[in-house]
Structure 1
Amino acid sequence: MNLPIPKVYNSADKLFQTVQRYAISQGFALVKKRTRKNQRGELKNMDICCDKGGVYNSSSGPDEETRCRQGSFRLINCPYELRAARRNNEWHLEVYNNEHNHIFDNDISGHPIARQLSEQQLETVTAMTAAGSRPREIVSTLRHNDTSTLVINRDVYNAREWLRQQNLAGRSPIQALIDELKEGNFTYKYECNDTGSITYLFFMHNESIALTRQYSSVVLMDWEEKIDYQWALDHFARLFNDVPKPGVIVTDRKTALMNALKITFPNSVNLLCVWHISKNILKNCKPQFPRETENTKSNEWKSFLSKWNEIVQSVTEKEFEEKWSAFCITYTNKSRIIAYLEDTWLPLKEKFVAAWTNLYFHLGTTVTSRVEGAHSTFKAYLQVSTGDLYWVVSNQKKEFDAMVASERIHIPLFALNNPLYMNIKGKVTTFALRKINEQHQKANRAT
């Protein structure tokens, strides 16, 4: 079979790419069998063969009979071979053996070399992996960018593992993590057990520490169920040795955490996340109401939830007592629900009812959703196949930098040409600018 393609090229890469495209169009694929360099280390010769050329080495593993009985192989010693040589700074191509010992494939996607990622595709995989994208999402993007690509999920998994090994550079993930913390401007502490395994790890970027120390009025915390709260809180508390400790700490209702906070931050007020409370009430109370169907829509549950929210928003203790008494009368027939609320939540009313929480400077923060969003992103990195703490830390830092950069360049329209914001736009968050604008509008209306 003659090759209906040029025989002379200005580079070895261009030569190989051209013959590969032709081979794939015919139903087979090529690989580089052998390359040779001159004394100066420059590539001078290249042998190219069919990707079904060669045979498997039977010197290791099962015996030949077992391999033939149990295995399926791609290599069948196909003799097809091309040879390329560099002469006078040009690459010349010739057909050394024009024979194949197999039929060509109508679907070339079964050949790994035909699915090899280009440099541009590898850059896409790298960027999307760093952003926490899953393999199937990356494959969809690659196929959208190039409808002719044959890439499959396995190719992306392999590329991600290759990237991971490149980043590790022969180190274990935990060694790479410690190196990243040392070199990445982090403050960190860890403890090991008798076998040398790390059992506790606390780390925080120094820029985050500076922000935490400067804006410590309200702190949000989201924790896993099983954790040594005291060890982590002790190290967190050391950040405030020479500055005021947090005035308010908002958490979920975890007794062990709440007890640990009393020890570590005895002068801080621990408020409970009202969103988590609502979720718990939904779980424990809604089953006591008639189940809604497509044909029957009951407003009883919505009414119950509305009345409970009114109790939570009570601005005085008297209002709270009145609304709670009325609530108990309304739901006299829901004794289980009343008992659940009295036993579980009313003893903690000072931590979530407005009549008490408004006594403290909490900046309107009564939920932990913002920190949970960050925690969810953190865990998403760990849940991918290549996920480890090193991967998380290195990519979270990039995400943090990107968020800060985005805040600096995205200025709300109301602040663009307004002299009121001239000295602060680009220096404070968009959220802060909007809060200032709200107060500015209120002041204008008052006058």
Structure 2
Amino acid sequence: MANSSGLDNLVPWYDSNNDFKDLSNFNMPDISEILTVTPATTVKTPVMPPPPTDQQFPSLNEAMKAINNFTRAYGYTLISQRSKADKETGEKKTVYLRCDRGGKFIPKVNDDARIKSRTSRCVECPFSAVLDYNIVSGWGLRIRELSHNHDPSLITTHPSLRHDELVKKQQQIEAQLYLGTPAHKILEVLKKEDLETSIKPQDIHNLCQILHRKFLDGCTLIQALLTILPEEGKWIFNWRADHHVPVPEAGDDFEESAMITAMPLLNIVGHTATGGTFYIGFTFIQDEKQNTYKFVLNCLRDVYDKLNLVPPRTVLVDKDKALINALKQVFPETNVMLCIWHINHNFLAKARPMIRKELVEIHSIDDPNFDKQVHEKWQQMQHLWMKVVNTATIQEKNEIWREFKQEYSDELYQPVVDYLESEWLEPDTA
């Protein structure tokens, strides 16, 4: 700061009485004699400081854990680059560390061919350190190169940090996966416990795949299922193996093995008086042929007989003739009816494009009420169709069906009319 005497020396050159008339004899004082400036002494702290080197660790794992617990707060991490072992004992004595971005950058495309597209984080960062083992003091850290050539990054971008945290929380995540909790829900729980968690959804998916392969233990999905069923509750199950089905051997391509496990799932459910449903059985089938369905239904019939249950009075199915024929053979006393939900679902798939096409010619597709108009048109068509379905006599059905064809006599709807008539109103269906 300037002292008061120096400021007094500055003031007299201005005098309101002389109105700046005579400034020729005024001598500007030397500022350097008045102001004394002392520059502040600052110490610049590195944005990415190195781990402390004044600590000793009893094991290599503890040393790496402590180092990366420190570095994660500053947006980088250290990984092992190479090591040296004792020639006599074979135990590691020196481990060379580098920043995880210290590798050589590999471009996505080379000169010869396009390789798998992935992002490379390596920027040849020069930072390096060494962990040395001393039989007395244990493992100690020394820094070889202090500088980085990149900015700090999010902890979720460091695979080694995510791996360490995943191992730490693996038991908790496994329990959630066993209950069928999706990855994003598991991650929400982890973030509630720790907002700075480094785990990403892909890490949970990868863990799920590892557990899946461990569970299979070289078996096919069906083999693994047959192994675990006796241990999981009181399941009644049966199976058969067809000798003509090829069994994948070691070294087979994944696509060939996948063909064995791509089996349709046949759900067998019951319907309550209050409109609810409950599961009766699950069946993985090789194909959707009559003999396959017959084996499944015979297994179901055996369960009914063992439990002294009355065979079902009515069974609802889609229009799978192989399944209908198998039902008539195994449960001859059971009425087989078509499921109206399947009928309407297929009907909608055929009719909706035609309705949209008709309304596009009248209204703009950009109209905010366009989808509502399509839905209302479909409701009208479905209402008239349900009158056909719910008729009590053939004569009444024919009358309502003529009304339906007259209402939708436009050439645009002819494919829908033909579909309903040939698929759902033929003699063996109606």
1:167 & 1:286 partners in 2: Cα distance?
Answer: 45
1:6-61 Cα offsets, whole Å, 9 max, x none, are 8367987665433212122234313467799xxxxxx99895733559999xxxxx
Q: Distance in 2 between matches of 1:103 and 1:22?
A: 19
Distance 1:221 1:173 in 2: 15
Matches within 5 A, 1:46-57: 49-50=97-98, 52=100
1:303 aligned residue (376, 380, 393): 380
Question: Matches of residues 84-163 of structure 1 in structure 2 within 5 Å?
Answer: 94-100=140-146, 102-103=148-149, 105-108=151-154, 109-116=156-163, 117-119=165-167, 121-123=169-171, 125-132=173-180, 142-143=190-191, 145-163=193-211
With over 3 angstroms needed to count, the CA separation of the structure-2 counterparts of 1:10 and 1:294, relative to structure 1, is same
> 5 Å matches for 1:282-297?
282-287=348-353, 289=355, 290-291=358-359, 294=368, 297=373
Alignment of 1:2-81 (within 5 A): 3-4=51-52, 7=55, 16-31=64-79, 49-50=97-98, 52=100, 74=122, 79-81=128-130
1:257 correspondence with 2:334: no
CA separation of 1:270 and 1:199: change in aligned 2, threshold 3 A:
farther
Q: Distance in 1 between matches of 2:401 and 2:325?
A: 31
Asked if 1:191 is matched to 2:242, the reply is yes
Uncovered stretches (5+) of structure 1, i.e. residues with no partner: 37-42, 57-70, 352-447
289, 300, 310: which one aligns with 1:228:
289
Equivalents in 1 of 2:98, 2:189: separation in Å?
30
Q: Partners in 1 of 2:190 and 2:290 — Cα distance? A: 43
- CA separation in 2, counterparts of 1:349 and 1:288? 27
Shift of 1:255: 2.4
Q: Is the 8 A contact 1:187 1:203 kept in 2?
A: no
| Aligned mates of 1:265, 1:188 — CA distance in 2 | 20
Structure 1 counterpart of 2:399, from 325, 331, 337: 325
Shift of 1:252: 1.1
How many aligned residue pairs are there? Answer: 320
> Structure 1 counterpart of 2:422, which letter?
D
- 3-state DSSP class of the match of 1:80? strand
Question: What is the CA-CA distance between 1:269 and the residue it aligns to?
Answer: 1.8
3-state SS in 1 of match to 2:239: strand
Q: 1:7 to 1:327 in 2, by over 3 A?
A: same
| C-alpha contact (below 8 Å) 2:58/2:139 kept by paired residues | no
Structure ID, larger Rg: 2
Aligned to 1:345: 424
Matches of 2:212 and 2:399, distance apart in 1: 61
Further displaced range: 12-21 or 105-114: 12-21
CA gap of 1:223–1:95, structure 2 versus 1, over 3 A, is closer
Q: CA RMSD in A?
A: 5.2
Matched to 1:187, the amino acid is N
- Seen in structure 2, the aligned counterparts of structure 1 residues 322 and 220 have a Cα distance that, compared at 3 Å, is farther
Partner SS, residue 95 of structure 1? strand
Please tell me whether residue 269 in structure 1 is matched to residue 330 in structure 2. no
Which 5+ residue runs of structure 2 have no aligned equivalent?
1-48, 86-90, 105-118, 249-258, 272-277
Pair 287,110 (structure 1): closer, same or farther in 2 beyond 3 Å:
closer
Return the alpha-carbon distance in structure 2 between the equivalents of residues 345 and 72 of structure 1.
58
Residue 278 of structure 1 deviates from its aligned partner by 0.9
Paired position in structure 2 for 1:240: 301
3-state SS of 2:241 partner: strand
Contact 2:93 2:132 in 1 (8 A): yes
> What percentage of residue pairs aligned between the two structures are identical?
21
Classify 1:196/1:16 alpha carbon distance in 2 versus 1 (closer, same or farther; 3 Å).
closer
Match of 2:15 in 1: none
1:231 Cα deviation (Å)? 1.9
Measure the CA separation in 2 of the matches of 1:273 and 1:101: 72
The one-letter amino acid of 2:420's match is: L
Q: Deviations over 1:115-138 (max 9, x none)?
A: 223345434543454455665665
Distance change >3 Å, CA 85–CA 164, structure 1 → 2:
farther
